Each structure stands twice: as C-alpha cells, then as structure tokens.
Structure 1
Amino acid sequence: MNKTGFINNFIPDILKQDEDQYRRARYLIMYAFLSPLFFIPNALKWFYMGSQILALSMTGVMLITIMVPFYIKITSSLAFAGNLVFAALAWHFMLLPFMTGGIDSSALSWNLVIPVFAATFVGSKSSIFWTFIMLIEILVLYRLKTAGFELPSLALSPEQLLQTRLANIIGPLLSMVVTLFFVDKGIKETLTSLSLALKAKENTMNDLQKTKAKIEQLVNNLQQIFNQVEDNTGRLLNVSLKNIASMTHKNADHSDQSGLFMEEFHKAVAGAKVSMDKLAVLMGEISESAGETTRIAQTIHTIAFQTNILALNAAIEASKAGEAGAGFSVVASEVKELARQTAEAAQGSEHLISDSTQKIIIGRELAVNTCELFSKLSNDISKVSRQIKEIALVSNNQVTSIQQISTAIREIDQLLQKGIFLKI
C-alpha cells in the first residue's frame, strides 16, 4: 500500500466528496505523522533545561496531535480534529511565555504559528478564531507587565538562553516553511484541478458544438419528416378516413337493415313453426280418426260375414221346407249376395283406410321433422340476428373511433401547419 492509500484509510467518504475538505484532511494527517520529529526534540530540550512542566506539556500536545487520523476517522469532522490540535498547541504556546518571562519572552513568536496552521488545515473561520485567542493572550501578558506582576522565568545559562532564542526564531520559521509547503502543494493541486476543469470545459464546449451541429441536422431531418407527415396526414384525413368512415357507415346501415330483415324472417319462421305444430297435431287427430274408421270397417266386415252365415243357414232351412220355403230361399239368396257385396265393400274400404292411415302417419312424421327443422332454423336465425346486432354495434363503435382518429389527425395537422414542433 502506498502513502496516499494509507492516508486515505483514515479519511471518511463524506470528506472525500468535497475536494477542499479532502485535501485539508490529507495535509492535517501528514502533519500529525510528522509532528513527533518536532515535539520529541523540544520535549527533551525542556527536560534537560530543567522544566519538566514544559516537557510534559509538549509530550501531551504530541500525543493529542498524533491521534488526529483517528479523530477524523471516528468523527468524520475535519474542524473538530483540527481545532482539538490547535487547542493543545495554544495551551502549550500560552504556557511557554508565562514560564519564560511573559511579554518579553521570545516564545511569543510561536503564537503566529497557530492561526497559520488553522488557515492551512481547517479554514479561514478557524484562523480568525485562533488569531483572536492569541491576541487576547498577548493583551493579558501586556496588562500583567504594566501592572508590575512578575512572571516566573527559567534560570538559563547564556548559552541556553541563546539556544532558546534561536529555537524560538528558527522553530516558527520552519513551521511557516512547512505550512507554506502545504499551502503551495494545495495551490498546485487547486491549479491542476482548475486546469483539468478548464480542459473538461473546453472538451464540453467542443462536444456542445458537435451536439449543436447534430441537433441542427436533426432539426432539418425533423422538418422534412414533419412536412411528409403533414402531407400524409392531410391525404389520410381527406381520403382514407373519409372513405373508411363512409364504408363503415354503410356497413352499419346494412347491418341494421339485415338485422331488421332477420327479425322479420325470424318472426315468419316462428309463425311457420307454430302452423307446423298445429298441422302435426291435426295429422295426429286424423290418424286417430282413421283408426276408428278402420275399426268400423272391420265391424262391418264381421257383420257381413255373420250375415252370410245366416243366409247360408236360411238357404239350408228353405231347402228342407221344399215348396213352402222357395220364397224364403230367394230372400236368403239375395241376403247372401248383399252380405257378399257388403264384405267386399268393407274390405275395399279397409284397404283404402289402411293406406290412408299409413300416408297420414308418414305425413305426421314429416310434419314433426319439418317442425324440428323449423325450430332449429329459428334458433339459428336468432343467433344470426344477435350476431348481426353485434356487428352493427361494433360498426357503430368503429364509426365513433374513426371520428376520434379523424379529430386527432386534424389536430396534428393543425399543429404541423402552425410549426409548433419547430418552435419547441
């Protein structure tokens, strides 16, 4: 893992979304990692000079500072982490002049570092706040001096005093140099970002020019398409839809007429069915009457047969009577002849009636079959009539739909004529 990747592990995604916050967070983490190089030698210096308080103060500031990456990672707040470090530095840089001579101490030069750090690592608002705090410190030290209040001062040899003054001059200068390094790096990154942004803008402008040319070409193509659509919609409106509407109207009228005709035909078939039903009933009654007639003919035939037998018996008795029964024999002979003729007539009638009965039965069956056919035809005609009504309804709906389409196309044609699409 490279240095940038290691530092990025401590920076939350929310800070990475803001380029300026991301850059400042990286610089503050880098400063935290480099801070022991400054704090450790200074802590040792004050320890050997006999000021354990300043050595402990410097060590505490170092411990707070090196924890900055974790503050940022946990709180996702650059301001909180930076101002916590500045508060620790301000504590030490306030303690330092109070223990080394007050307003006359060269350690006051360190107070310049904190506002610069704040401006570099957090922002201008933080820099203004810490500048105000440092000014208050200087004013307090000045008031203490003018009030005659003596602050403690370390007993230093001339050589130690010179080293301390050099450190108080060189230290802030080096801190300024480090700060300027971060500022310069930030400026370069900002300029690089601006350069990339300008280049991206230039590329975007070029793309916009190309897009503009394409749009102009598209507008020209759309103009041609709209002209063709206008012509086509005009022809469609003037010819096709009118013809379709006319034909649909005719279909609807024909369907209505066919429906009326089928209704009349259905009524006629229904009437014929009723007549055929009555005919079938009548044929049945005639068949029953023919049966009765047949039975009557059979009775007449039986009477003729019995009369013939009686005539034979009378003839026999007349022959026995001799001359006395001659007249009775003639009558018996005539009765026998009449019985014969009656039997023949009854037999002929029976044959005729039987033949008529068979024909009536056949006619009745034909009437029943015809009645069934008429019933089926009536049902079929009823179905056809319903279908014709549905066709008429659909045709009327088609007429309505075509009228709506015609209205919509007329509106489109008006829009095209007004050039609304080109205005858009």
Structure 2
Amino acid sequence: MAHRPLACVILAAGKGTRMKSDLPKVLHRVAGRPMVGHVLAAVKTLDPDHVVVVVGPGMESVAAAVAPYPTAIQHEQRGTADAVRAAFGLLGGFTGDVVVLYGDTPLVTPDTLRAMVAARRRSDDPAVVVLGMRPDDPGAYGRLILNADGGLEKIVEYLDASGEERAVGLCNAGLMAFDGARMFDLIGSVGNDNAKSEFYLTDVVQIARRGGMACAVVEAAPAEVVGVNSRAELSEVERLIQRRLRKAAMDNGATLTDPDSTIFSVDTKLGRDVIVGAHVVFAGGVTVGDNVEIKSFCHLEQTRIETGATVGPYARLRPGAEIGPDAHIGNFVEIKNAVIEAGAKVNHLTYIGDARVGAKANIGAGTITCNYDGFGKHRTDIGAGAFIGSNSALVAPVTIGDGAIVGAGSVITTAVEADALVVARGAQKAYAGWAKRFRERKQSEKAKKA
C-alpha cells in the first residue's frame, strides 16, 4: 500500500486565564511533563510527516518547549477554526490526512489517534472524522447526531439542541481528522455569524454534509479527552494519569502496597518484582531494576537503582544518584550525584553528595560528605570495603582507600590509605565527680531563689 502522508496540528494558543498563572496553560505539568508534551508524545507514535503547533503571540516559551517542531501564530483569539487556519501557511499544498488536537487535552492515547486516522482512510472516504465520547453526565457538551447510515450528520451545541437531541449520549470530544485535500476549503468556508463572532471548527461537519461529503465518528473513553482550563481540572487530569500509570506499573509486575499514595512521572521505569511502599514519589528520570524494594515516604528524582537494592523508608535520592546491585539506602539518607556500588550500605541519617562509595563499604549513621566550600563542589571517593564510623565528616576533595576504617566522630581532610585506621578527633578527657558537683551547685542556687 502506498504511503499516505499525515500531518498533525496541535492547538496551543489558549491563554488559560482561569489558570491564573504566568505560565502558558499547555506548559503546566501532568505527571512531570508539560501537557503539550503528552500530546506530542502521542503524536510521535503516528510517525507523522508534519507537525505544527499553533501558539499565541508572545508564547516563545511554548515554541521552545515544542522545538524542533515548527509553530504558527494565531494573532487573535477568534475560535478553533481560525486557530487551524493559522497553520495553513506551514501546510500549503498538503493533501494527506490531517489530525487536529488540543495542547490542553493530554490524556488522548496513540490507539485513539490511530483509530481516527484509520477511519479517515476507510472506503467511504469521510472528509471529516470527529472524536466522540459518552460521558456519564453529558451536561452541556455538544451532541453528535448520526444519520440512518451511522455516519455523522451534524454537531449540535447544547444551547441550540432540541430536547430529542439533548437526549443523545454521544458527545463531541473536539479532536478531528481531515482529508487534507478538502480541509482547506472546508475550514475556509467557516463563518463567524454567532454570538461570539468566532470561527468554530465544529461547523465543518455541516459544511461537508451540505457538499455531499461523508463524515464519521470514532469513540474514545471520556477519561482520554478531559481538557484543562483551571487548576481544579489540572488536578483531575493528574488523578486520571496517575491511575493509568499505577495500573501499568502493576500490570508489568510491580507491587504497589498503597497505589493511591504512589506518585509517578510519565517516564518512570520499574522492573519486575519491585515493591513500592506507601507515599513514594517518583519525580522525573527514575529507572528501577528488578527485585528492588522502595520503602514508604521516599522521594526519587533522576536516579538509577540496580537489581536487588533496598531504599528507605524516608530516603531522598536526588539527581545523579546511582544505587548499585544489592546496596542498602536507609532511613533519612540523602544521595546526590553519587555512585553507591554493589552491596554498599548507607543505612541512616547520612548525606552523600558528589561521591563514590565502593562495593560493600559501610557508611555509619550521621556521616556527611562536605562537598561544597562555598564556591565549588568537590568529590569524595570511598574505597571498596571501607568502614566509616558514625558522625564522621569527610571534607572533599578526599579519598578513603579500600578497606580503610574511619573512627567515629572523625573529621577527615586528607587522603586515607587502604586498610589504614584513621581517627581525627580531640582527645577524650574525664573529670571525676564533676557532674555530681555541678548538679548539687545548681540545685542549691535554685533553692536560694525560691
């Protein structure tokens, strides 16, 4: 079969005034990714020949976020058909299929987009394919009215619908697929004789039908086409995508002990037989190997955890943390830009930053790597099998050799050779009876004041 070209137009020019934000609406994040990024990710799976994102004036931040895809500017907010017209300059002469999507509708799936394209290419050759849905409460959605042959006859806005039409459960979800050879004329024929003087993309259906062209409907689950116009709707979309991500994690062999409290990013990767405790947050860029346990109340970001490791509870893994096989990261431990090698243990109340902890090394409670001198970051290298006593401070740059032991409470400022014992603390002094005399004196002073 000959290749039929495909273009996608993403409408992202909305100001999002109800968001009450300086950030363009489509750049608000859902599961760690800007909404328009989700739409682009779905579009990429179609391998389109052209992608155009329509933005408003002054939306350079959106243009930067969608690069290298080109942007077209809708200079005035005059409706959805006008927004698609803004893309015409970048699609001149295109005669393939064109899918029109919305940058604030981030949950649409690649399967749904493929179904729309397949419907557009059916033998009945519809000029327009509209995405429909059947919400539990159709409310004020526009209704999709079908003809006797099952094709789409018209889209009726709720306020213009008769009682019979309002009883129809099939509603307009907004996305459309066009035959590019007919799209330019169809959209060019849309007028603005309405209360808002705007050019509505939905009018193309009646224009096409008056011209004797077929139109069709593809249905999607209502949860796929929830749009975002407010912070409350943003939170609803976040809830829906988290539900989707949690299900995918469990379907792929992970155990979530309290799924509703686990927060994923869209790029989180979990291996098989991973166990995730309650209230764990996966920020962007986290990859977890097989048979890892992440205990409750951990926060992970831009981190790799290898097979068999355990993390938490209450651990924070920051960007650049690499946790090796069978390593242990315990409670109230923070790791940043550091490699913890196989079998090493960092079990409690410790900060390891800009460092390497060698295989099977043991880091005692309260240890910190002093990696910042007020001007720059410096590295600490801890050898394999080293033992760092509790409450030690390793002042970088510094190297601890393989098998070395650092006595508890030490402040280490110079290199420690392999297998050495180093103690760097003040000499212990004892004053017999001092504590008893101190208490007696204080009690006497208090009695006199009374």
Normalised by the shorter chain, which TM-score bucket?
A: under 0.3
Greater relative CO (CA pairs within 8 A, separation 6+):
1
When Rg is computed on C-alpha atoms for both structures, the one with the higher figure is 1
More helix by share: 1
**TM-score of the superposition, structure 2-length normalised?**
0.19
Which has more strand, going by share of residues?
2
